[in-house]
Amino acid sequence: MGGKILVVSGPSGCGKSSLIGEILKSEKDIYFSISTTTRQKREGEREGVDYYYISTEQFEKEIEEGAFLEWAKVHDNYYGTSLKPIYKALSENKLVILDIDVQGHAIVKIKFPRIVTSLFVTTPSQEELERRLQKRQTDTQETIRRRLENARKEMARMDEYEYLLVNDDFDCTLQAFRHIVHTARLKVSQNEIDTFINRW
Ligand code: 5GP
């Protein structure tokens, strides 16, 4: 498996999805993992594009069956990364991008210590995050309150990441993100090292 993994975490509303969307338009050989969730579909979101939306019962059944590479409960909903497509993409030497939370990152890092690059994206301040969540007009005030609370918890684990991007100016952030994508591909797995040494 020559593929690599780039984990992108950060509070909801920090701009992760827009950044990843731009990268997907212009970079080749990337597999963006579409997560499965039990949360309600937001206005404008599409099944199989943003998430696969399933019931809590179905999600719990899939946990039992070992279908997830990792899963976590975030804001009282389940979110998980399906295992099979990740292994397929890695075997095709792709860069796998995972938009997952801090809990998911911790698991993925343990499972693939050599091939994971980690990036945390956030806003310049809490106030700015709240402003963006309010502007989005997709969440209730209670949901926004919970998302802000969760953001503060996630920020406390920022030191577990290799890179930090403060998404103030979108174009500048995108440029930096592109560099990180390119660098993530250059990680070298144990298998690649062994193969190279044998050949050398
Ligand atoms: P949202 O509801 O805003 O789409 O996502 C909420 C949080 O769940 C975000 O921090 C996002 O990165 C995280 N998330 C989305 N999919 C997954 C997943 O498959 N696994 C984990 N652990 N977190 C996820």
Percentage of residues of the chain with pLDDT beyond 70: 100
Examine the pLDDT at 1 and tell me if it is beyond 80: no
Q: Does residue 113 form part of some domain?
A: yes
| Measured CA distances, 179 to 23, 57, 174 (Å) | 11, 41, 9
CB count within 10 Å of CB 160 equals 13
Sheet holding 30-32, edge to edge: 30-32, 95-99, 4-9, 116-122, 163-166
Beta carbon of 167 within 6 Å of any ligand 1 atom: no
138 pLDDT tier (thresholds 50, 70, 90)? confident
- 123 within some domain: yes
Q: pTM to 2 decimals?
A: 0.94
72 lines ligand 1 (CB under 6 A): yes
Residue 41 lies in a domain: no
Q: What is the pLDDT of residue 62?
A: 97
Is residue 69, in this structure, part of any structural domain at all?
Answer: no
In a domain, 165, yes or no: yes
| Residue 88 is assigned to a structural domain of this protein | no
Q: Is residue 77 part of a domain?
A: no
Check pocket membership of 129 for ligand 1, CB cut-off 6 A.
Answer: no
What is the spatial distance between Cα 113 and Cα 31, in angstroms, rounded to a whole number?
19
Residue corresponding to tokens 């503060």: 152
Question: Distance (Å, rounded) from C-alpha 157 to C-alpha 58?
Answer: 30
Q: Which domain holds residue 188?
A: 4-33+93-199
Q: What is the mean pLDDT of residues 132-159?
A: 91
pLDDT at 136 over 90: no
Q: Is residue 117 one of the residues assigned to a domain?
A: yes
- How many domains does the chain fold into? 1
CATH of the domain at 106: 3.40.50.300
Residue with CA nearest ligand 1 atom 6: 12
Output the residue whose Cα is nearest ligand 1's atom 5: 12
Per-residue model confidence as pLDDT tens digits over 78-124: 999 999 999 999 999 999 999 999 999 999 999 999 999 999 999 99
